Amino acid sequence: MNTQKTIRQPADTVEANALRLDTEKAAQIVDALNTDLADAYVLYHQLHKHHWNVEGAEFLEIHVFLQEVYEDVEDAADELAERLQALGGVPHASMTTLAANATVEPEDEDVYDVRTSLANDLEMMGDIIESYRQHIELAEGLGDYATGEMLREQLETIEEHTHHIEHYLEDDTLVLESATK
């Protein structure tokens, strides 16, 4: 690793931006987006864990579904990072910083049954949905309608995935429990 460092912009700073959004307003939005970014990476890793560990009769369908969801979360994280950089901020990038700034709690390292895993995902996604709604209101209240729109589009996607998980967790199933447990 190169030991000589030239820092272009220190972390946790917000510089003037070409979007002509006041730096003080941009700083509030950057802070919110960095929280969303940190939460997205916690969710991404939990979904990925569940994708790796899913078992049972519905394995393939849930395995594929979870991959779709974590890929959408990864795309959203990239979009968040690029937007906050455009606003003059520095996206959180290290695992330590992301973990420290996340407002959602990941489950531990243990492997759980599919129903518990999906319920944990549903809970985390619900917390993220609430945060997005607050951040949409913040961005639009500060005159940043483009960030509000970006967050609104991401909110629609996460709400759709949340709705699908809710369906997976319903009691109705074609799979019969084994009589020999």
| Structure confidence by residue, pLDDT tens digits, 93-133 | 999 999 999 999 999 999 999 999 999 999 999 999 999 99
The helix (run of H) or strand (run of E) holding residue 99 is helix 95-101
Q: What integer pLDDT is reported at residue 165 of this predicted model?
A: 97
Give percent of the chain above pLDDT 70.
94
Query: Does 68 fall in a domain?
Result: yes
Q: What integer pLDDT is reported at residue 171 of this predicted model?
A: 86
Query: Does 174 fall in a domain?
Result: no
Residues 89-127 as b or e (16 or more Cβ within 10 Å = b)? bbbbeeeebbeebbebeebeeeeeebeebbbbbbebbbe
Q: What integer pLDDT is reported at residue 178 of this predicted model?
A: 63
| CB 106 within 8 Å of CB 45 | yes
Q: How many CA atoms lie within 13 A of 119 on its CB side?
A: 8
Locus of tokens 């594929």: 64
Query: Does 9 fall in a domain?
Result: no
The mean per-residue pLDDT over the stretch 65-70 comes to: 98
Angle between helices 59-86 and 23-53 (to 10 degrees): 160
The helix (run of H) or strand (run of E) holding residue 166 is helix 145-168
CA 55 to chain CA centroid, Å, is 24
Domain around 133? 28-168
Q: Is the pLDDT of residue 177 over 90?
A: no
Give the separation between CA 168 and CA 76, rounded to whole angstroms: 23
Q: Is the pLDDT of residue 145 over 70?
A: yes
SS3 label, residue 10 = coil
Q: What integer pLDDT is reported at residue 27 of this predicted model?
A: 98
Q: Is the pLDDT of residue 179 over 80?
A: no
Query: What is the band of 174 on the pLDDT scale with cuts at 50, 70, 90?
Result: low
Token digits for 94?
Answer: 């290290």
CATH number of domain containing 153: 1.20.1260.10
Residues 24-42 as b or e (16 or more Cβ within 10 Å = b)? ebbbbbbbbbbbbbbbbbb
Please state, as a whole number, how many other Cβ atoms lie within 10 Å of the Cβ of residue 59. Answer: 11
Mean pLDDT of the chain: 94
pLDDT digits (tens, 9 = 90+) for 5-38: 899 999 999 999 999 999 999 999 999 999 999 9
* Domains contained in the chain, number: 1
Query: Does 126 fall in a domain?
Result: yes
Give the separation between CA 28 and CA 24, rounded to whole angstroms: 7
Query: What is the band of 172 on the pLDDT scale with cuts at 50, 70, 90?
Result: confident
Query: Does 23 fall in a domain?
Result: no
Query: Does 104 fall in a domain?
Result: yes
